[in-house]
Structure 1
Amino acid sequence: MDIMNDTSRSGAGDRWAWLFPGQGSQKVGMGRRMLERSVAARRVFEEASEAIGVDLARLCLEGPLETLTATENAQPAIVTVSVACLAELQDLGLSPPIVVGHSVGEFSALVAAGCLPLADAVRAVRKRGELMASVTTPGGMVAVMGLEAARVEALCHEAARDAVAVVAIHNSPQQFVLSGDVRALERFKDLALAAGAKDCVMLEVSHAFHSPLMAQIHEDWRAEVARLRLRMPRCPVILNTTAKSVETLVCIRRSLVEQLTAPVLWMQCVKNLASLGVTRVLEVGDSKVVSSLARRTVPTLQTQTFLDPSILNDLTPVKG
């Protein structure tokens, strides 16, 4: 059953999109409810664990947080939890109407759309995390809240006069993440607070993700992506780097490669969903991060997440 226009539990004419969270959404205990209630979800964890030789169920449930947060662990763990949620939905006869994933969540979205087998996706993001962790160029990231895009871009340009700093993630109209050289980010932080930002926080990350400082691993990652067994999607997929729907497999490979150094256009992706008539979004994962950002971008969107205990009942079509 396709819930793009399902009216059994929601208003007539509702159009759905499924959203998949990315790195930063990890927490010890994630996936517990799926593992406890769903055979299909347990099979997903087993397949993913076998693919990379890591007990992902134990990692997600027990941590420790420091180990789970390591980039090479967090990425396959997040994808596995999202695909476990997907498996529960598919057990109900539901299929994704349109999908978009935040950063590494794009791999979850590609699995949901039938573009990529789970085992391949988990192996790829494990390698992606290992490569990202291997970058020797120092850098960091800073989140700014309460300034509009044009002001953020201008202050970023000013701060980056002798070092690298770019707007790396467009989360919502009032939340952006910059990435680059720590000196430039510290300058930006001072400038942003002086300009009236509500908050500006240095993130606890090891590298300057989604910035030119990740270029060191670009060719190695390109070679990994070239080996992926991709298929054309069964439903529309909105890509992070373009905020547009997939048209060719070349588009998918290019987006996955360019994500390393190009910004995540999440805000623009959500606006594109709204332009396509989407009125409701479901966050497919043990998180409410990306659905919350979506609502901040398009306040009229109605959101649901797997953190809601009644979610499976809400989505199950009424019989009779």
Structure 2
Amino acid sequence: MNNIVRDEAAGRWAWIFPGQGSQKVGMGRKMLERSSAARRVFEEASDAIGVDLARLCLEGPAETLMATENAQPAIVTVSAACLAELEERGLAPPVVAGHSVGEFSALVAARCLPLAAAVRAVRKRGQLMASVRAPGGMLAVMGLDGARVAELCREAARDGVVVVAIHNSPQQFVLSGDLGALERFKDVATSAGAKECVMLEVSHAFHSPLMGQIHEEWRAVVASLQLRMPRCPVFLNTTAKTVKTLVCIRQSLLVQITAPILWMQCVQGLVELGVTRVLEVGDSKVVSSLARRSVPTLQTLTFQEPTVLNQLGGADTSRATPV
């Protein structure tokens, strides 16, 4: 009881899950070394898609791991391995959110979707995304607010498609679109006072209308998923709202390939639920760092910290604020 009282005073937890861009050779090593439950997760996921994910994560090569069709199932598997360690400790998610493909990890955590089905789906998602013929790219812009970014997008759109693809934080956005339009945006944003504009090392304009070619094939994959209602609140990327029905889960997963990721708004929604602390469930610090940029008062914990499981041992992270 004392632990619960202390945790109540300190604030509520959310578990958040990283997306593509967090992958790196060596990820998952600590989980594989210390947890039999984590090793079973890797085995189940590997069997589901016919890829040795433990070897891929630990040994690469980097070019193979970075490929979209490999990175996505690898990221979900590592997050699921972390989740297995938490559940070994008797911990359950209080409220969850995942960044882009991390939404699948969040759905696994909430028991909406079995791991094997999630890994197969994101493997197919990555293959479809990589198959898009329309050329394009992505550009990260730092130091401008959302209204200014949207205004400059409209100006740059004279040279082609350019949209805000990811709302990471109040001062960091990622754009997707035609390469010419992105270069145009880079020029006008730099003149407007952007601190930095960086082209990302991606092959396509993810989360933009240029991904529309795969919409119907992806619709069939999403329609085939056997979903269940979540055991805890789940914030969805495309609405920044919690799940109310299975229909809204399917809709978010479907439109995510062409619609923006509202990560900043998801974090703000977590805070409105009373969340003051977030745990990044994966071998990454990316989304917890972004969360803190959106809400500087948030306390963060990640699996990259050596004592993470001990730090969680005395906390009651299993309680969710009613939605």
Q: Which band: TM-score by shorter chain? A: over 0.9
Separation in structure 2 between the aligned mates of residue 125 and residue 271 of structure 1, nearest angstrom: 26
Counterpart position of 2:319: none
Counterpart position of 2:233: 236
Separation in structure 1 between the aligned mates of residue 175 and residue 293 of structure 2, nearest angstrom: 19
Q: 1:87 aligns with which of 66, 84, 88?
A: 84
Query: Does the aligned pair in 2 maintain the 1:25–1:78 contact within 8 Å?
Result: yes
Separation in structure 1 between the aligned mates of residue 131 and residue 240 of structure 2, nearest angstrom: 28
Counterpart position of 1:45: 42
Counterpart position of 2:113: 116
Deviation at 1:98, TM superposition (A): 0.2
Counterpart position of 1:36: 33
Separation in structure 2 between the aligned mates of residue 171 and residue 7 of structure 1, nearest angstrom: 33
Separation in structure 1 between the aligned mates of residue 237 and residue 199 of structure 2, nearest angstrom: 23
Counterpart position of 2:56: 59
Query: Does the aligned pair in 1 maintain the 2:159–2:184 contact within 8 Å?
Result: no
Query: Mean alpha-carbon deviation: is it higher for 209-218 or for 309-318?
Result: 309-318
Separation in structure 2 between the aligned mates of residue 157 and residue 63 of structure 1, nearest angstrom: 40
- Write the mapping of 1:288-303 to structure 2, written as runs, cut at 5 A: 288-303=285-300
Aligned length: 315
Deviation at 1:11, TM superposition (A): 6.6
Q: 1:215 aligns with which of 212, 217, 224?
A: 212
What RMSD in Å do the two structures reach over aligned CA positions?
1.4
Separation in structure 2 between the aligned mates of residue 158 and residue 276 of structure 1, nearest angstrom: 37
Separation in structure 2 between the aligned mates of residue 289 and residue 7 of structure 1, nearest angstrom: 30
Q: 2:164 aligns with which of 140, 163, 167?
A: 167
Separation in structure 2 between the aligned mates of residue 102 and residue 45 of structure 1, nearest angstrom: 21
Counterpart position of 1:252: 249
Separation in structure 2 between the aligned mates of residue 267 and residue 14 of structure 1, nearest angstrom: 20
Separation in structure 1 between the aligned mates of residue 297 and residue 199 of structure 2, nearest angstrom: 31
Question: Structure 1 residues 41, 7: CA separation in 2 closer, same or farther (over 3 Å shift)?
Answer: farther
- Write the mapping of 1:1-320 to structure 2, written as runs, cut at 5 A: 6-7=4-5, 10=7, 12-317=9-314
Deviation at 1:6, TM superposition (A): 4.3
Separation in structure 1 between the aligned mates of residue 191 and residue 243 of structure 2, nearest angstrom: 41
Separation in structure 2 between the aligned mates of residue 24 and residue 149 of structure 1, nearest angstrom: 22
Query: Does the aligned pair in 1 maintain the 2:15–2:279 contact within 8 Å?
Result: yes
Separation in structure 2 between the aligned mates of residue 175 and residue 286 of structure 1, nearest angstrom: 22
Q: Note the alpha carbon deviations across 1:114-169, whole angstroms, 9 max, x for none.
A: 00000000000000000000000000000000000000000011001241100000
Which aligned runs of 4 or more in structure 1 are off by greater than 3 angstroms?
A: 5-8
Separation in structure 2 between the aligned mates of residue 123 and residue 96 of structure 1, nearest angstrom: 23
- Provide TM-score, normalisation by structure 1: 0.97
Identity %: 79
Separation in structure 2 between the aligned mates of residue 212 and residue 6 of structure 1, nearest angstrom: 47
Separation in structure 2 between the aligned mates of residue 131 and residue 312 of structure 1, nearest angstrom: 37
List gaps (5 residues or longer) in structure 2: 317-323
Counterpart AA for 1:127? K
Q: Secondary structure at the match of 1:191?
A: helix
Q: Secondary structure at the match of 2:176?
A: strand
Counterpart AA for 1:64? P
Question: Structure 1 residues 7, 200: CA separation in 2 closer, same or farther (over 3 Å shift)?
Answer: farther
Q: Secondary structure at the match of 1:280?
A: strand
Question: Structure 1 residues 219, 43: CA separation in 2 closer, same or farther (over 3 Å shift)?
Answer: same
Separation in structure 1 between the aligned mates of residue 263 and residue 68 of structure 2, nearest angstrom: 20
Query: Does the aligned pair in 1 maintain the 2:284–2:303 contact within 8 Å?
Result: yes
Question: Structure 1 residues 238, 158: CA separation in 2 closer, same or farther (over 3 Å shift)?
Answer: same
Query: Does the aligned pair in 2 maintain the 1:241–1:264 contact within 8 Å?
Result: yes
Deviation at 1:14, TM superposition (A): 1.3
